[in-house]
Amino acid sequence: MITNEQRDKLRGWFAGRLPDDLFDALAEVVVDREEITVIGRVPAPRLAEDVSAAEREAAVQSRIQEFRERTRDERIAVAREAEHKFRRKVSWGVECGGERVLFTHVAAPVMTRLRQPERQVLDTLIAGGVARSRSDALAWCVRLVQRHTDDWLVELRESLEHVQRVRAQGPDAEEAAESSAGDPEDG
C-alpha cells in the first residue's frame, strides 16, 4: 500500500512533468501495486445551451477522442519515463463535460479459491446475463461492493496508513528507511 506522502510525491512528479498545455487541470492520480492512472480535465466543447442531450454527448465523446489522438505521443513519452522511474504501468483518462473516460488500464489477474455457495453466486450472475464468465461476475461483485462501501474502504485505507506510520517509528525504522520504504518508486 502507498502512503499519502508517497501519493503526494507521485502526483507532484506528474504535475511537474506533464506539459503545461496537456490538461486544463490534473484531476487525479491513482496508484496501486501494478498501475498509476493519471486523469486530467479537458475543456468541454462549446455548444449552444439548447442542444439536445444526444448532441451534447456526441460532442463530448468527440472531444475526448480528439484529445486522445492528438496527445498520444506526449502521453507515451511521459508514461515511458514514469514506468521506468516508478516500475508501474501508466494509464490515462480524462474528465470532460461531466464524463470520465479511461483510455487504457491494466486488468490484473487475481487468483482466488471459492467454495460452492460462492461459485453459485457467480453462476447465477452468468445465467441472468449480468456477466459473461465467472471472472466478469467476480469483477461485477467487486464493483458493487466498492460502490456501496466507499466510506468504509476510505476508513480502512486510513487505518492502514496509520499502521505504516507506527511501523516506521519502530526499532527497525532506520533499516527500512535505507531500503527506500518511503520512496514512491518502490511502492
Task: From first to last of the 187 residues of the chain, give the pLDDT tens digit.
Answer: 677 888 899 999 999 999 999 999 999 999 988 999 999 999 999 999 999 999 999 999 999 999 999 999 999 999 999 999 999 999 999 999 999 999 988 888 888 899 999 999 999 999 999 999 999 999 999 988 888 887 888 888 888 888 888 888 888 766 655 554 445 544 4
pLDDT of residue 4: 81
pLDDT of residue 90: 96
Per-position DSSP letters for the chain, written without gaps between them: ---HHHHHHHHHHHHHHS-TTT-SEEEEEEE-SSEEEEEEE-PPPP--TT--HHHHHHHHHHHHHHHHHHTHHHHHHHHHHHHHHHSSEEEEEEEETTEEEEEE-----------HHHHHHHHHHHHTTS-SSHHHHHHHHHHHHHHH-HHHHHHHHHHHHHHHHHHHTSTTHHHHHHTTTT-TTT-
What distance lies between CA 143 and its chain's CA centroid? 13
Q: Half-sphere exposure of residue 57, counting CA atoms within 13 Å on the CB side?
A: 3
pLDDT of residue 1: 66
pLDDT of residue 68: 96
pLDDT of residue 33: 86
pLDDT of residue 178: 53
pLDDT of residue 182: 44
pLDDT of residue 77: 96
pLDDT of residue 162: 85
pLDDT of residue 181: 41
